[in-house]
Chains A and B, each alone.
Chain A
Amino acid sequence: DQQVKQNSPSLSVQEGRISILNCDYTNSMFDYFLWYKKYPAEGPTFLISISSIKDKNEDGRFTVFLNKSAKHLSLHIVPSQPGDSAVYFCAASVGGANNLFFGTGTRLTVIP
């Protein structure tokens, strides 16, 4: 039951360029979306979130875009840095619930 999908298992980007990570979801009840970053041997770290009442949220080099009609969100990292190399998880929740539904992750490699 894949309610949150990240169809690209990996992505490689040159340092300084834009990284775009994509996420699709199937449950129209989701109203809160988050991106987490995970380094090897560490737990996921919260990166940025967006509520379904917005279509864009920006925090420094990170911007999340939400397209509710397409049930699609994306994370833009500009400019990409080698330290951004990690696995990025998209997650979603339904209002009133305490659990997150995660995607399978996209491994980003930023090439110096």
Chain B
Amino acid sequence: EPEVTQTPSHQVTQMGQEVILRCVPISNHLYFYWYRQILGQKVEFLVSFYNNEISEKSEIFDDQFSVERPDGSNFTLKIRSTKLEDSAMYFCASSVKGLANTGELFFGEGSRLTVL
């Protein structure tokens, strides 16, 4: 069964360092997302991406964050200068249709980011 894969599964970094989290969405999906979950809190939307551009982003997704689809398969989330509060589990997701057309999301297993 096709699945969304994420790497790394866990990354530890020093505050102020750049981090890139990688995702390979399901191959025929057109919409891509990043969500995050701070320990003990709810899953929060960061950004959605369609047709090689950001379609929506939340207040969390500030100038320190960027997303890219560098080739036909990878979808990356970059945090330029990590802060302690960026420590969280980051989930990549993809869908065939956007939520406006009621397509459900398929999530990866997550990348745990720990900022020291």
Contact = CB atoms under 8 A, between A and B. Distances in A.
Q: Quick one: which of B43, B55, B91 has the most chain A CB within 10 A?
A: B43
A30 to B, nearest CB: 11
Contacts of B104: 34, 46, 49
A51 B99 CA distance: 11
A62 B113 CA distance: 34
A42 interface: yes
A49 B43 contact: no
Given A32-B99, A104-B42, A99 B58 contact: yes
A43 B108 contact: yes
Interface in B87-116: 91, 93, 98-100, 102, 104-110
B75 interface: no
A92 B35 CA distance: 14
Nearest to B55: A98
Contacts of B106: 46
A60 interface: no
B105 A46 contact: yes
Interface of A: 2, 4, 32, 34, 36, 41-46, 49, 51, 89, 91, 93, 95-105
Given A46-B105, A89-B43, 15 more contacts: A42-B109, A43-B93, A43-B110, A45-B107, A46-B104, A96-B100, A97-B56, A98-B98, A98-B99, A99-B33, A99-B56, A100-B45, A100-B105, A102-B43, A105-B42
